[in-house]
Amino acid sequence: MTEMVRFRCQNCGYRFDTEVLDEAERREARRLDRPTSAVHCPQCHRTDIRRGWE
């Protein structure tokens, strides 16, 4: 089941919520050789982000 996680972009400082796969889903996707997409900032499209808003 997916879960909502808060992120903050290290580049532009934008804060956003997004759904990510839980550990069991990531494991199953890797086992089936399916891609697991990286989370990126919706503002600047960079992937250097940090979990949480602090």
Phi and psi, residue 30, nearest 5°: -65, -40
Domains and CATH numbers, the chain: 3-51 (2.20.28)
In what helix (H) or strand (E) does residue 29 lie, and over which residues does it extend? helix 23-31
Place of tokens 């250097």: 48
pTM > 0.85: yes or no: no
Cα dihedral 25, 28, 30, 33 sign: negative
1-54 residue pLDDT tens: 788 999 999 999 999 999 998 889 989 999 999 988 789 999 999 999 999 887
Contact 42, 16 (CB under 8 A): yes
Gap between the Cα atoms of 35 and 53, Å rounded? 27
